[in-house]
Amino acid sequence: MCGRYGFVPDTNFDERFQVEHRQETLLPSYNVAPGATMPVVVRNSPNRVELMKWGLIPFWAKDPKISYKTINARAETVATTPAFREAFKRRRCLVPASGFYEWQKTERGKIPYFIHLKDTELFAFAGLYDVWKDAEGQELRTYTILTTTPNALMQPIHNRMPVILQPDDEGTWIDPGVNDPVSLLSLLKPFPAELMEAYTVSRAVNSPANDSNELLSPVDYE
């Protein structure tokens, strides 16, 4: 799964995600937890940034608490799972990130790792979004992050990993004109392990209340 990630925007954010006329101020968040409101990128001729809440609420849901169970969508079943299948067809997005955290079970307890790409500061998770309305008609935009099987780097740490899109595939993923499920599902594969790095970090990341760049510092548990 992916239950925590970091987002540290740089000055090249707009160029990197081909965004024009961005209005939102993008602030760093070193410990993004479910329920947080974060920027996602959607295609709307051209791309635009929208702020959405992490934890997808399907448009048809009667109870918004479903979002606690929908922070992630499995790539293997996303096309058929009721909570995600409509969003998979029509409402795909990019979730910008700088890295993500995962916890490895050991005899000394769970040890947190920070995982990132070696050669780039920002990348995109494959995401889905939906628009839910409450009883008063107020809209709430929410998103989920796709997960897949682990690559060789992630396998010793956890049995799932988020789908990190290749930059050349990002445009296809958010293009509303692409609706072939086979083509879309082919993008949801483990990112090459040799392009990634993982290292242990402080257990301070366990609490979402902690949010500073110190969380990214390596910590030796030996």
- DSSP conformational letter for 201: B
Q: Is residue 86 part of a domain?
A: yes
Q: Is residue 222 part of a domain?
A: no
Q: Is residue 35 part of a domain?
A: yes
Name the residues annotated as catalytic: 2, 102
Q: What is the pLDDT of residue 20?
A: 84
Q: Is residue 82 part of a domain?
A: yes
Quote the number of domains for the chain: 1
Burial code (b: 16+ CB inside 10 Å, e: under 16) for 112-132 equals: bbbbbbeeeebbbbbbbbbeb
Q: Is residue 221 part of a domain?
A: no
Q: How confident is the prediction along the chain (222 residues), in pLDDT tens digits per residue?
A: 799 999 999 889 999 999 987 877 899 999 999 999 999 999 877 899 999 999 999 999 998 999 999 999 999 999 999 999 999 999 999 999 999 999 999 988 999 999 999 999 999 999 999 999 988 889 999 999 999 999 999 999 999 999 999 999 999 999 999 999 999 999 999 999 999 999 999 999 999 999 999 999 999 997
Q: Is residue 13 part of a domain?
A: yes
Q: Which domain holds residue 157?
A: 5-216
Q: Nearest 5°: phi and psi at 15?
A: -70, -40
Q: Is residue 129 part of a domain?
A: yes
Whether the predicted model's global pTM rises above the 0.85 cut: yes
CATH number of the domain where residue 33 is located: 3.90.1680.10
Q: Is residue 159 part of a domain?
A: yes
Tokens of 203: 């257990």
